[in-house]
Structure 1
Amino acid sequence: MSLELPSSRRDLIASRLLAGEPVSSTALASEFAVSEDAIRRDLRALAAAGACRRVYGGAVPLASGALPIAARLNDGLAQKRALAKAAISLIPRGSFVFLDNGSTNVMAAEVLPDDENLSVGTNSIEAAATLAARQDLPVLLVGGGVDPAIGGCVDGAAIEAVSRLNIDVCLLGACALSPQGGASAFDAGDTAFKRALVSRSRCTIVLVLNDKLGARAPHQIVDLTGIDHVVVPHDAPEHFVSEMEMAGANVLRADPQQEDRRSYGQ
C-alpha cells in the first residue's frame, strides 16, 4: 500500500499537467500504488480547480486561453493594467462601456476613470464586484446563469438582456487573436454571447496579451473588420503588429511605464 499522502500525490499530478503532460488514470494508479478510484478523485479535484480537463481514462492540460477565470486573474497583472490604461484613451467621455468576461477586463474595471461621466455594463462577476467596491461609477450587471469557468453569464438570458442595450464601447474578451481568424474563443456559449455583444456595440476594442497573439481557438467571434481597435503590450512582436495593420486593424501599443504604476487612479 502506498504511503503517499493524497495532497502530495495530487501536487505531483498537477505539476505534470502544468508542464503540458496528459495523464492516465491506470498508469497513475500503478505508479502510486493506489486504486483508480483514488486517482479519479484526484483528477476531479484538479479539474474543479482549473488545472486540467478530464477525458476518458485520465486528464489533459488546458490550453492557456481556456483556463478558468480564477486561474487567470492574478497572471500578468502589470501588463493587464497597461493594456487597460491604454484602452481608456479610446473611450469617449459620457460613454456606456460594456466589460465582457475576461481577466484583463477585470483590471479595466479597476482603472476606468471616475471623472469622464462613464456608465458601465458587464456580465462578469469579478468585474461587477470590482466596480461595486469602487462605488463611483453606475453599473449594470447583465444576469443569467453563471458559468464558473468563464466567470460570468453567457446563457440565453444574458444574450437576451444584451440584445436590448445600446453600447457605445465594448471591451471584448478573446481567447485568441490573429489576422486570419480574427477574435476567437474556446467555449461555444461564450462565443454566442460575444457575437451578440459586438452586434450591439458602436465600437469594439480587444485587449490582448502576447500569449494570445496568433493563437487559435475553435469559435470565431468576429473578424478583424468588426474590431475597431486592438490594444497590445508594448513588446508585442513587430511582425504580428505589422500583419494586423496590413489586414486593416488599428493597433495601439500599451505604454510600458504603466506597468510600473500600481496606485489606483494613476
Structure 2
Amino acid sequence: MDHFVSERQSEILAQLRAKGRVSAHELAQTFDVSEDTVRRDLREMAARGECERVYGGALLSAGQTVPLRVRIADEPDRKAVLGRTVAGLLAEGSAVFFDAGSTNLAIARNLPEGLRLTAITNTPAIAAELAGRAGIELVMIGGKVDPAVGAAIDATAIRQLEAIRPDLCILGACGLTLDEGLAADVFEDAAFKRLASTASKRSLAAITSDKLGLRAAFHVHDLAAPLSLVVEADADAAVVQQLGRQGVEVHRCASAGTINDKRPTRGNTP
C-alpha cells in the first residue's frame, strides 16, 4: 500500500512541476481514488514542502517554478497582445535586455520588422527567436541553463552581465503585489533579475492579470520609477491607479488583437 501511495504522490508532483497546479477532483478521476485520498496525499506532500494546499487542490511550492517550455504554451494569445504593446514602446537603436519569461518571448516574437535594436538575453528560446532578424544585433549571455527558468543564471552569466549596460531591462516576474513589488519563485533567478535591472537605465515588466496580487518568494523590484509596467485590458483599475500613485508608469493593452494602446499613468517612458 505504501508503495502505491508513493507512486501516486510522485506522479502528482510531476504534474505540479509540469502545470504549476493540480485539482483534487481531476486527480481523483485520474487515479481512480476518492477525493479524500487525494487530499490526504496533498496534505502529506505539503508537509514535506512539495506543494502548497489551496481550495480544490494544490500549487507548486514557492521556490519552484513551472518550466519555461510549459509556460510558453499557456495563454499564448494574451501574451501576444502584451508582446505587441511592449514592442511598440521600444526605442529605435536602443540596447534592450530580455530577461527569461514566456511573455518576454512573446515580446521578441512581436518586434516589428526592421526595428533596429541591440538585443541582449540569457534565454536560449529568445535568442533563437531573434537570431538572424534584420536590424537586430544579438548578444547572448551564456552559462549553465537552469531547466525550470529556461535561462543562464549562474556565476558565468553574472560575470558577463556585469559588463553590460542596457538602456532597458525587460523583466520577467512570477508575481506582483502593491506592498512587495515584483517577485520571482527561484532565489537565483530573482538575484539575476535584480542585477540586470540595476545595470539598466530603466526597467519594464509585462504582467498578465493573474499575476496581479500574486506573491512569490523572492524580491525583484520595488514598484517605483524607473520601473514601467504593461498590463492587460482587464487589469484591476484600483491596482493600476495605486501603481500610478507610487510613480510607476502603466501602459494598458486595449483588448485582444489590438497592437498598442499606451495609457501612461505616471513616470518615465521606457
The reply to whether TM is greater than 0.5 is yes
Structure 1: stretches of 5+ with no match in the other structure: 1-28, 262-266
Aligned counterparts of 1:79 and 1:40: Cα–Cα separation in 2: 33
Asked if structure 1 preserves the Cα contact closer than 8 Å seen for 2:123 and 2:152, the reply is yes
Structure-2 change in CA distance of 1:115 and 1:239 (3 Å)? same
Map 1:220-235 to 2 at 5 A.
220-235=219-234
Structure-2 change in CA distance of 1:71 and 1:169 (3 Å)? same
Q: CA deviation at 1:258?
A: 2.6
Within the alignment, does 1:142 sit opposite 2:111 as a pair? no
Q: CA deviation at 1:63?
A: 6.0
Look up the equivalent residue of 2:235 and give its one-letter code.
A
Structure-2 change in CA distance of 1:152 and 1:242 (3 Å)? same
Aligned counterparts of 2:132 and 2:5: Cα–Cα separation in 1: 45
Aligned counterparts of 1:138 and 1:249: Cα–Cα separation in 2: 29
Identify the residue that residue 131 of structure 2 maps to in structure 1: 132
Aligned counterparts of 1:47 and 1:246: Cα–Cα separation in 2: 37
Asked if structure 2 preserves the Cα contact closer than 8 Å seen for 1:78 and 1:260, the reply is no
Identify the residue that residue 77 of structure 1 maps to in structure 2: 76
Aligned counterparts of 2:49 and 2:214: Cα–Cα separation in 1: 26
Asked if structure 2 preserves the Cα contact closer than 8 Å seen for 1:123 and 1:153, the reply is yes
Aligned counterparts of 2:84 and 2:75: Cα–Cα separation in 1: 14
Q: CA deviation at 1:218?
A: 1.9
Asked if structure 1 preserves the Cα contact closer than 8 Å seen for 2:117 and 2:135, the reply is no
Q: CA deviation at 1:39?
A: 3.7
Greater shift, 116-125 or 143-152, is seen at 116-125
TM-score by length of 1: 0.76
Say what the alpha-carbon RMSD is for the aligned residues. 2.8
Structure-2 change in CA distance of 1:133 and 1:35 (3 Å)? farther
Q: CA deviation at 1:168?
A: 1.1
Asked if structure 1 preserves the Cα contact closer than 8 Å seen for 2:121 and 2:139, the reply is yes
Identity percentage of aligned residues: 31
Structure-2 change in CA distance of 1:38 and 1:235 (3 Å)? closer
Identify the residue that residue 14 of structure 1 maps to in structure 2: none
Identify the residue that residue 235 of structure 2 maps to in structure 1: 236
Asked if structure 2 preserves the Cα contact closer than 8 Å seen for 1:96 and 1:119, the reply is yes
Asked if structure 2 preserves the Cα contact closer than 8 Å seen for 1:234 and 1:255, the reply is yes
Identify the residue that residue 42 of structure 1 maps to in structure 2: 11
Aligned counterparts of 1:221 and 1:51: Cα–Cα separation in 2: 20
Q: CA deviation at 1:55?
A: 6.5
Look up the equivalent residue of 1:97 and give its one-letter code.
V
Aligned counterparts of 2:73 and 2:99: Cα–Cα separation in 1: 18
Within the alignment, does 1:114 sit opposite 2:113 as a pair? yes
Greater shift, 208-217 or 222-231, is seen at 222-231
Greater shift, 123-132 or 60-69, is seen at 60-69
Identify the residue that residue 177 of structure 1 maps to in structure 2: 176
- Alignment counterpart, residue 62 of structure 1, candidates 53, 60, 63: 60
Identify the residue that residue 264 of structure 1 maps to in structure 2: none
Identify the residue that residue 21 of structure 1 maps to in structure 2: none
Aligned counterparts of 2:203 and 2:174: Cα–Cα separation in 1: 15
Identify the residue that residue 20 of structure 1 maps to in structure 2: none
Q: Deviations over 1:141-197 (max 9, x none)?
A: 111111000001111111111111020111111111122111111111001100110
Identify the residue that residue 187 of structure 1 maps to in structure 2: 186
Q: CA deviation at 1:238?
A: 0.8
Map 1:16-27 to 2 at 5 A.
none
Look up the equivalent residue of 2:11 and give its one-letter code.
D
Q: CA deviation at 1:246?
A: 1.5
| Corresponding residue SS for 1:256 | coil
Identify the residue that residue 165 of structure 2 maps to in structure 1: 166
Aligned counterparts of 1:169 and 1:203: Cα–Cα separation in 2: 5
